[in-house]
Structure formats: structure tokens, C-alpha cells
Structure 1
Amino acid sequence: MSNQNTISLTASELGYLWTGYSINEMSIWYLTIFREQSNDEDIKNLYRFAIQSTIDMLLTRKEILTNEGYPIPVGFCETDIDESSPPLFTNRYMLNYLHNAARLGLDFHSKSLALATRVDICLYHKDCLTSAIQLYDRVVDLLLTKGIYLRTPTLPTPISPEDIQKTSYLNGWFGETRPMNSMEIANLYSLLDLLIMMETLITGFVQTTKNEEIIELFHEGVKIVKKQYNILSEFLKEDELPIPPTYSAEITNSKKRVFSDRIMVSHIAGLFGSLLSQYGFSLGSVMKHDLVAAYTTQIVKTGVISEKYTKFLIEREWLEKVPGAISRK
């Protein structure tokens, strides 16, 4: 099994290699802009590190796919960004953006590794995961150093282990209800962090495009994200837990083009896909009926807006096709 020269890529390996290439390639342009727009040398250095790690990943992905005879995604180019544009976001938000990006990277690379079997592919994904861990560590360290890392709350320490004794533990609508457990709290905060990042990003994007259809699409997207933030925040209020603040004040008043319409819509479409994945993961650890209902409802709403963004991209031929199975009909 170790002779990769005689073993074809599995669908799982191909899917994550190809999709990972597309994500990394698009990320380069966002990382480049935010590196240029930051006036904080610590943040600039962090973005330089992220860019170099992403380039290294891209080169290896390209080599593997090329050797296997698969076409490389075209992606984006220099015309999709304007490095001379003034900052669209503050340093605080750009650091928060990288924090969320590092988290999503950890999720993606760990799943890629879990679905790989060929020796060289496994080794590659291990390297990617190591790079993602290093980036995450550096981002968190800088957030802590600057005093802007928002920790989730601490909880009282139980005296002894305790079994669930009543089925009312599952309740959430009527009768005896309970506060959220630590897993439910952890995943809820993770969802809120992603929603906060998306709200700010889409709101900033609206300022820099003149395309009315895209403005309407962004307005609809940010409306859904804000509503979900408000709905999920209510669960924290009920348990008297702190609500993470939004970053809406971290957008500058610049209206100059920073990114092309295509790369902006593509990025938001991808983030809605990540939001769907996060909802699905979070749903797996929920035991409260009201939280299950909230997640299930928001999964449907997120799926609808995600499909709308995808259709928009397809109609303009802005979306590349992921390699798939051959129709035998």
C-alpha cells in the first residue's frame, strides 16, 4: 500500500486535494490584501507566515494533482485585488479574521487526513495540519498578547461525577429545563464567532461593489447572519452567559474597490458552506430540544442562502466544477 506510484487517488483524497487547492488559492489573495492593509507589524508578520504556509501547501497540491493527470483549478489573479486600496477593516478585525480562518483550516485539514489512505497523501495532510496548528498557535498568542482574545466563560467545578437521572434533561420547550452543558456552550460560541466574522466581512464588501444584484445578495446574506446571531445569543442570555460582541464597528468608511465581485461572492459562498458544516457538527452534540430545533431551522435557512449564492456563481460561470463520478446513463 505504500507504493503510491501504483495506487490511484480515491474520491475522498481527490475531493479534499482539489477543494483544498481552490480554498488555498483564493486565500492567498485575501491574505495578501490584509497583510498590505495592516499597519501593525505583528499582524503583518503573522500574515506573512500564513501566506508562506499557504503557498507551500499550494505547490504540493499542484504537484500531486498534476502528476495524477488532473487539471488544476484556474482560481483568481492579480486583477481580482487592488493592493493600493485603503484599509477596509481595522487591525482588530483582520486579526479576528485570521483567527477564524485558522480554525476552519484545522477542521479542513484534520478531515482531509482522516479520509486519506495513500502514504504520500497522508504525509502531506499531516504537514498541512502541522502548519495549521502553528498558525493557530501564533494567532491565539498574538490575540492574548494584545488583550483582545475573548475567552468562553468558566463553569463551576462539580463535586463528583453525576449520571443523567431524568429524561427531562432533553427538555427545552416545556416543564423542567436545564442550562446548556459545556459541549453545547463550546459549539454555540464557535458558531457565534463565525457569524460575527461573516457579518463584518459581508457588510464591508457591500461598501465596495457597484453591482446592484450583488449588493442585494450581500444584504440578504448579512440579514440572515445577523438574525442567526440574535437567535443563538438568546440561549446565552437564558443561561446568563456573556454574549460575544460584533465587529461591525471595525469597518472603515472606505468605498474603494478592494476585491473583485467574483472573489467576494465566492468567498461568502464558501463561508456559508463552512457555517453549514459547523451547524451539522454542533448538532451532533446537542441534547436540548430547543437548541436542536434552533440548529435544524438555521441549517435549512443557511442551506437556502448558500444555494442562492451558488446559483449566482453558476449563472455567471464563476464557479469551477469539482472532479466527480462519470455518468453511466
Structure 2
Amino acid sequence: IYQRPSMTGQNQTIISQFLLLGLPIPPEHLLLFYVLFLTIYLTTMLGNFLIIVLIHLDSRLHMPMYSLLSNLSFSDLCFSSVTMPKLLQNMQSQVPSIPYAGCLMQMYFFLFFGDLESFLLVAMAYDRYVAICFPLHYTSIMSPKRCVCLVVISWLLTTFHAMLHTLLMARLSFCADNVIPHFFCDMSALLKLSCSDTHINKLVIFVMGGIILVIPFVLIIVSYARIVSSILKVPSAHGIHKAFSTCGSHLSVVSLFYGTVIGLYLCPSATNSTMKETVMSMMYTVVTPMLNPFIYSLRNRDMKAALARVFCKKKIILL
């Protein structure tokens, strides 16, 4: 339990650091949750790193689809690393603080890799749409050059968006209260602590959120709807099964990621309690990056075959 410090001065107190309250975990369960989150983080790191290595080592996976998967795994790896190490450190700290500059930096990279994942999910949906609906033209439409362009555009857009929000946040003043009721420097939590006018920040969040989150989500839904429509034209149980196997698992993670993010940042803040915000944030910052390697890649036959080939080569070398 941490007491909120009372900072007073003649004019205005400048905040040099923030206090992260973290998760509402009873002290007797702290070790259990620490081990749980550490396991989740290590699983996330190992799963995504394994995918990147497999795609790099196996020449059969040097295709646009797996190039996008590699970028998604890198994004998930970094996205989880923005918040989880600090959360684990603070769970073992008596004073879970973070410097002002470190808080802004964490917010920037959190937005950057979160946005990057959003755009990569759109690119992956487009890749599957072309592969299933236009199989004969797939190699010409999804050329290596176009794939690189999609990734570069994603990086540029995410850089602009994250920098915009970070600069707008840096102009705000924080006085009196420096306690963030969250496990990381969340943008909405920081806005609630500011003693400056935050109308511009909230307007930009709403407008840019529609561009960065809602439009990509709609594009993904449309892509998968066209995929299902194309497969259902083939009157066979195999076609229907293929449609669900292709889209079902992907859409579940897409819905989990976009649903929580849209509900958290685009809905009015008055509707979200602190507990609700924390749970929703945990879903897309901790759970989704851990599930993506299993849903998007490790259930894929090509990825499992590549894994088997790599292990077979190592066994032969050892022998």
C-alpha cells in the first residue's frame, strides 16, 4: 500500500517522477502472480523469437506471408517488453516509481509497437485475401517489393502517430498528484492526472484512433468476409472447414486486440473504471502477444515442418 504524496509549493509543483500502483494484488498472492507474469513474458519472448529464427533460417519460408509473420512476431516481442519488465520490477520494489522522461518514453514505444501490430494485422489479412481470392495472381500482387512497402509504410505511420501523442503529452503540466493507478504509463491515465487543458489531446485521440484502429479493424473484417464468401462458393464440407480454419483463429485474436483497445481508448473515460481499464490493458498487452505465436504461426503446417527440419539438422550435426 502506497500513500499518495502531497506536494505543495508557492506556485506549482513540477512532477519529476510518477508512482505506478501496478495491479491490485493482495500481498500474500504477490509471489504467485510474479511467477505467473514472468512465465507469460518468457513464453512470449521464446515463442516470438522462435518464429523469427525459423523464418530466417528456412528458405522455404522466405515468402510475403511469413515475412509479415516475422515482423508481427518482432512487434509482439517488443510490445510485451515495453511494459512487462517494468511490471515485474515494480512487483519486487518497495517504491515502484518511473521517471517523467522514462514514462513518456514508455508511452511512445507502447503506442509505436501497438500501432505497428495493428497495421501488420491489416497487411496479413490482405495477404490472405489475395492468396485465397486471387491465387493465380498472388505472386504478382504480393511481390517482395510490395511486401517491403507495406512494412515500411506501417513503420512510418506508427512513428508519426506515436510521436504526435508523445509531443502533445509533453506539453502538459502535472501537479500535486503523481500516482498512476496502472501498471504502465497509459495515455488515458496520464491525462487524468494532468492539471492542464487536455481537450486537444482527447480530440486527437478520438480522431487518430478512428484512423489507426477503427479503419484497420474494418479492413480486416472486410478481407475475411471476402475470404469466407469466396470459399463458400465451393459447395463442399472441406471448403467450409478451410474457411473456418483460415479465419476463425485469426479473427479471435483480432477481436481480442481491437475490441479491448477500441473500448479502452475510444469510449468515454467515464464508462471505464480503474479495474476495468487494467483488465482490458492486460488482455492486449500481455495475453495477445503470448497467443499470437501459437495462433498465427505454430499451428501452421509450414512452420511446424520448418521446426522439424531445423531440429533434424541439429541432430545430424550432433551425430
Greater helix percent: which structure?
2
Report the TM-score when normalising by structure 2.
Answer: 0.33
Higher relative contact order (CA 8 A, sep 6+): 2
Report the TM-score when normalising by structure 1.
Answer: 0.32
